[in-house]
Amino acid sequence: MDLEFTEEEDAFRKEVRQFLREKLPPALAAKVKLGKRLTKEDMEGWHAALNERGWLAPNWPKKWGGAKWTAVQNHIFDEEAWAAGAPRVIPFGLNMLAPVLIKFGSDEQKQHYLPRILDGTDWWCQGYSEPGAGSDLASLKTRAERQGDHYIVNGQKTWTTLGHYADWIFCLVRTSSEGKPQEGISFLLIDMNTPGVSVRPIILLDGEHEVNEVFFDNVKVPAENLVGEENKGWTYAKYLLTHERTGTANIGNSSAALEQLKQIAANTKSKGRPLSQDPYFAARMAKVEIDLEAMKTTNLRILVEADSGAAPGPESSMLKIKGTVIRQEINDLARRALGPMALPFVSEALEEGYNEPSIGPDYANSIAPDYFNNRKLSIFAGSNEIQRGIISKTKLGL
């Protein structure tokens, strides 16, 4: 694999930088870099700017309004956006549901939902995990019973990220108890404003309301909201998860976090010298940087193969494991580098306009919340233990 960027790719990087200079509001970039709390309006505004440029859905076919970027273009944009302080693109509609609809949905579903994802009409969330079905997703209990031209849905989903903002939720539901557990699952689209749907917040270790419980009490869902065939939802779920796990490599985010870590280490004193000159700490930073560079190459290789038609399989599990381990190591090093400055955490400090005195630099306010929040990375999208099992079975035959 040629690791040198072509002239066209270098020109694309310049184009991305120019776009970010012109369209990314400095106040929004500052909020992201300082770890301030983003509002729904912040995220929607950035989505709208990307959509106007035609860059909101880089992996979609052009037929449906996508940019159809190459793997290298995706990589370049990811690096530059995180470095500039752009908010992350909320993935649930764009990068999770849309690929499933494009591959398995009806023409009517594509024509209705895809434009509404792009223009921001619909905000989607994911309904997979349940209180007793997380890593063992096949044991889910939320049931959908067909009654004429509708399904009646009863059950509960949990860890529903940003569900309190969502207009719609795509759900795995049980439509049959016959055969293996995986064989009775269907993929259903549910309007969050339907009577019987309720949302209850879950406050995380970092003090934030990011995830929720979602309850379904005799919720009436049109049968036309079934994606693909009944009882084939497990197939669609696996397809979605390969895209999600590949995304959790999170190269751009980790690269930006590593640069911040280097600045922290250079500006923090340890025994009269910068922490970056402490042999033990410098060695840990060097190791995580080497790991990140190696993962960049692996990520590009896998994405290039996907561009040529190869479906990501256990490779997406490898990226998920390594990407989350690297990100957590960077979080841990930043926390250790700041020492006592990372300990105090005042929730209000994440609000824009907070001006109370701090014992450390402004960015220190976000280090502890980031550390706590990112403990989840090795669990969501299938725990790292589950991913190691997938790799063992598919690659090693164990």
Helix (H, G, I), strand (E, B) or coil at 332: helix
Q: What tokens were used for 337?
A: 């580098």
Q: What tokens were used for 252?
A: 């751009």
| 149: DSSP letter | T
Q: Which of 80, 230, 244, 315 is catalytic?
A: 244
Nearest to 21 by CA among 56, 51, 52, 49: 49
- Distance between CA atoms of 224 and 193, rounded to whole angstroms? 17
Strands 150-157 and 168-174: unpaired
Do residues 44 and 111 touch, judged by C-beta distance below 8 A?
A: no
What are residue 171's DSSP bridge partners? 127, 188
244 is catalytic: yes
Nearest to 36 by CA among 350, 260, 347: 350
Enumerate residues 6+ apart whose C-beta is below 8 A from 380: 159, 248
Enumerate residues 6+ apart whose C-beta is below 8 A from 81: 16, 20, 252
Residue 348 Cα to chain centre, angstroms? 25
- Distance between CA atoms of 301 and 296, rounded to whole angstroms? 9
Nearest to 323 by CA among 248, 383, 227: 248
Q: Which positions are annotated as active-site residues?
A: 244
